Amino acid sequence: MKRRGLLIILSSPSGAGKSTMAGMLREWDPSIAFSVSATTRPPRVGEQDGREYHFRTREEFGEMVASSEMLEHAEVFTNLYGSPKAPVKAAMGAGQDTLFDIDWQGGQQIRNSSLGNDVVSIFLLPPSMAALEQRLRARGQDSDDVINDRMSKSLDEVSHWAEYDYVLVNEDMDACAEQVRAILVAERLRRERQEGLNDFVRDLQDEFGSRT
């Protein structure tokens, strides 16, 4: 039965596993589209424009915002990030779910937008702040100062946990992924998202009436 596509918002403090979780979800269901964000930060080694991010200058990014091409945008760690609107609306119309790997600011903007009724928001908490710091250091990508900044930012991120539909503690990635999959299966089956359900039930009623 046809349904509208979901907007799946996945958020967590930096290092708590949202990017890994996003990858696991897309392996589980390759039909899930991934919203490739635009950003003003420079690409890291191995990143490609249009794959990890749409890399834009601040001027280009500002033009996209001014022309209402962004579904959401925010400044994080001195760089701008945002979600282009057009591919998201196209996916929704085709009944395809779109996954957003974004922070609480972007999630809040999408929930408050005209597409907010089709949002399912999930927040991942780390098992402890010590475990979170250990994961950040294990990446080997950032200096001590950057890690300290990210840990401070994480406290702010965690304070917004209650704004999400679902909150999970990501202690074991596989177990957490199973919970996220269960959430999506249930949300896809919600009555209000089944666009053909009214007509189907009406046909059942008409079929019964024709038998009397």
State how far the alpha carbon of 38 is from the alpha carbons of 73, 79, 92, in Å: 9, 10, 20
Cα dihedral 153, 48, 115, 197 in deg (nearest 10): -120
- pLDDT reported for residue 212: 64
Give residue-wise pLDDT tens across range 170-212. 999 999 999 999 999 999 999 988 888 999 999 999 998 887 6
- Cα 52 → chain centroid: 14
- pLDDT reported for residue 139: 74
Q: Are 65 and 130 in contact (CB under 8 A)?
A: no
Q: What is the CA radius of gyration of the chain?
A: 20
Using DSSP bridges, classify how beta strands 38-39 and 79-84 pair: parallel, antiparallel or unpaired.
antiparallel
Strand ranges across the sheet with 79-84: 54-55, 38-39, 79-84, 70-76
25: closest CA among 176, 197, 199, 194?
176
Name the architecture of domain 7-204. Answer: 3-Layer(aba) Sandwich (3.40)
Q: Are 96 and 102 in contact (CB under 8 A)?
A: no
Give residue-wise pLDDT tens across range 13-31. 887 888 899 999 999 999 9
The mean pLDDT value of the chain amounts to 91
| 170 contact partners, CB below 8 Å, separation of at least 6 | 12, 16, 17, 21, 124, 125, 126, 127, 176
Burial class (CB in 10 A: 0-12, 13-18, 19+), 3: middle
- pLDDT reported for residue 17: 86
- pLDDT reported for residue 141: 72
- pLDDT reported for residue 183: 98
Strand ranges across the sheet with 119-125: 33-34, 98-101, 7-11, 119-125, 166-169
- Cα 200 → chain centroid: 32
Determine the 3-state secondary structure of 125 from DSSP: strand
Q: Where exactly are the structural domains of the chain?
A: 7-204
Ranges in the chain, pLDDT < 50: none
The pTM for the full model equals 0.82
109: closest CA among 4, 9, 39?
9
